[in-house]
């Protein structure tokens, strides 16, 4: 167990859900007779769930500051319908319609941010009202009829990286993406080890090498899986957009002053205000950002479905919220990461895909997803009960070889 802690950075708990995701994929692959780990299934898994994962990026920031956004599904549908109608009825070129959709998302987010930050209305109530308003507007402006979008949007919702160069047996764009990802992780790990050594922390070389090999194997297999599909397919464009957003928002939340303010407000709003953080400003921009990402999700969805419909976005907010909590966000706020939310979203996506391959109905799938969410939140609550060992600690204590012996009682 000591060596495992060194390989995983001394904190096994943060990797629990990632390991659970890998185990889930393996189990479903065995049960489904190998149909889980196929290029077409994983390409569809990423393309078909990219919009929920985009929503989860914004939702984790909202939940970290102690609020929740129930309007994201309705906002996504409203943006998608505005884009489709502006192109069909107003004669906008496709790119101008796309920009209009992003602007509409920002304006809607500013509306929600105003009521929360300036008027003091809780985010739950503000966005509940927004959910009703924008769902009604979608039905109103569409007259309950679906509106097609130009074929250019298909690239954003269902496109693939292009093929180029010599025949390598894989899609060269996907192969290059995988090699860049491996190179980035190697550089990141070496810099991390150098920083630990500079601070006089223990950082054995073998542990860094083990991490590099493990992650490189996972990335390499994913590269093979996405790049070896039928001709014309590769890593999906929605997945590439998602990766870009994850990188941007990971840096924003973990490496910037505004990101520190988000966690400060979520951890203790009063203390953050006393230290000079503008709590209303944080609330405003977090809500505005959430609706902007809802607009991005709506555009991805209409690109995949080739039309905007009055029922688009139904229950998307529930999937995004579930992804964030499964990914380790705290119910009380102050804790949660973008990468954790992505893992939580992928757990939900793999559950959907695996259960579908097994022939499980939509009703039973909802039951199972609800139980997974309940277990994830129970895990979080259990780990925060003062004086009780964490679940991971309980499971791994028996394997520890470094238990301290109890000190003998002193006797006079």
Break the chain into its structural domains and give their ranges: 7-159+264-377, 162-235
- pLDDT grade for 202, boundaries at 50, 70 and 90: confident
Please check whether residue 291 is in contact with residue 77, taking contact to mean a CB–CB distance below 8 angstroms: no
Contacts with 392 (C-beta within 8 Å, 6 or more apart), sequence order: 12, 13, 16
pLDDT of amino acid 2: 60
> Residue 328 has which token pair?
């380790």
- pLDDT grade for 372, boundaries at 50, 70 and 90: confident
Q: Residue 105: is its pLDDT beyond 70?
A: yes
Please check whether residue 85 is in contact with residue 147, taking contact to mean a CB–CB distance below 8 angstroms: yes
pLDDT of amino acid 400: 43
User: Which tens digit of pLDDT belongs to each residue from 65-96?
Assistant: 999 999 999 999 999 999 999 999 999 999 99
Please check whether residue 249 is in contact with residue 57, taking contact to mean a CB–CB distance below 8 angstroms: yes
Q: Residue 17: is its pLDDT beyond 90?
A: no
pLDDT of amino acid 392: 39
pLDDT of amino acid 381: 67
The C-alpha atoms of residue 348 and residue 320 are separated, in whole angstroms, by 10
pLDDT of amino acid 196: 84
Contacts with 278 (C-beta within 8 Å, 6 or more apart), sequence order: 261
Q: Average pLDDT of the chain?
A: 88
Q: What is the mean pLDDT of residues 37-59?
A: 94
Share of the chain above pLDDT 70, in %: 89
Q: Residue 380: is its pLDDT beyond 90?
A: no
Residue whose entry in the numeric block shows the structure tokens 């990461």: 337
Q: Residue 243: is its pLDDT beyond 90?
A: yes
pLDDT of amino acid 359: 86
Residue whose entry in the numeric block shows the structure tokens 């569409």: 142
- Looking at per-residue pLDDT, the higher value among 403 and 139 belongs to 139
Maximum mean pLDDT: which of 249-253, 330-334, 364-368: 249-253
The C-alpha atoms of residue 112 and residue 106 are separated, in whole angstroms, by 10
- pLDDT grade for 115, boundaries at 50, 70 and 90: very high
Pick the CATH number of 7-159+264-377 from 1.10.3470, 2.40.50, 1.10.8, 3.10.150: 1.10.3470
pLDDT of amino acid 387: 45
**CA dihedral over 245, 249, 252, 258, signed as positive or negative:** positive
pLDDT of amino acid 328: 85
Share of the chain above pLDDT 90, in %: 68
Report the Cα 202 to chain-centroid distance in Å: 32
pLDDT of amino acid 11: 53
pLDDT of amino acid 106: 97
Q: What is the mean pLDDT of residues 287-315?
A: 95
* Neighbour-count burial for 115-131, b at 16+ CB within 10 Å, e otherwise: bbbeeeeebeebbeebb
């Amino acid at each position: 167990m000591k060596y495992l802690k060194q390989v995983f950075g001394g904190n096994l708990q943060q990797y629990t859900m990632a390991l659970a995701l890998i185990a889930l994929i393996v189990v479903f692959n065995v049960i489904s007779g190998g149909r889980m780990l196929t290029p077409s299934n994983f390409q569809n898994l990423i393309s078909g769930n990219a919009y929920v994962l985009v929503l989860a990026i914004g939702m984790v920031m909202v939940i970290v500051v102690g609020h929740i956004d129930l309007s994201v599904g309705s906002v996504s549908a409203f943006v998608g319908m505005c884009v489709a109608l502006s192109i069909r009825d107003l004669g906008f070129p496709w790119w101008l319609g796309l920009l209009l959709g992003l602007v509409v998302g920002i304006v809607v987010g500013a509306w929600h941010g105003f009521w929360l930050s300036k008027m003091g209305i809780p985010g739950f109530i503000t966005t509940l009202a927004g959910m009703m308003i924008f769902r009604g507007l979608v039905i109103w402006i569409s007259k309950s009829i679906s509106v097609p979008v130009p074929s250019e949007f298909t690239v954003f919702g269902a496109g693939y990286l292009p093929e180029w160069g010599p025949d390598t047996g894989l899609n060269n764009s996907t192969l290059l993406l995988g090699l860049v990802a491996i190179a980035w992780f190697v550089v990141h790990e070496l810099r991390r080890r150098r920083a630990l050594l500079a601070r006089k922390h223990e950082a054995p070389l073998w542990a860094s090498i083990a991490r590099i090999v493990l992650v490189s194997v996972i990335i390499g297999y994913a590269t093979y899986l996405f790049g070896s599909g039928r001709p014309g397919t590769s890593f999906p464009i929605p997945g590439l957009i998602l990766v870009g957003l994850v990188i941007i928002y990971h840096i924003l939340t973990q490496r910037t002053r505004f990101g520190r303010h988000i966690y400060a407000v979520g951890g203790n709003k009063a203390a953050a205000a006393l230290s000079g953080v503008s709590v209303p400003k944080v609330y405003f921009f977090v809500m505005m950002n959430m609706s902007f990402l809802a607009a991005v999700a709506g555009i991805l969805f209409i690109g995949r479905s080739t039309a905007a419909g009055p029922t688009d976005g139904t229950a998307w907010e529930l999937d995004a919220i579930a992804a964030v909590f499964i990914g380790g966000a705290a119910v009380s706020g102050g804790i949660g990461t973008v990468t954790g939310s992505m893992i939580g979203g992928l757990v939900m996506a793999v559950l959907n895909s695996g259960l579908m391959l097994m022939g499980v109905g939509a009703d039973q799938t909802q039951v199972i997803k609800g139980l997974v969410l309940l277990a994830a939140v129970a895990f979080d609550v259990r780990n925060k009960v003062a004086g009780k060992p964490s679940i991971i600690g309980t499971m791994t204590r028996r394997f520890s070889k470094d238990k301290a012996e109890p000190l003998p009682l002193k006797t006079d």
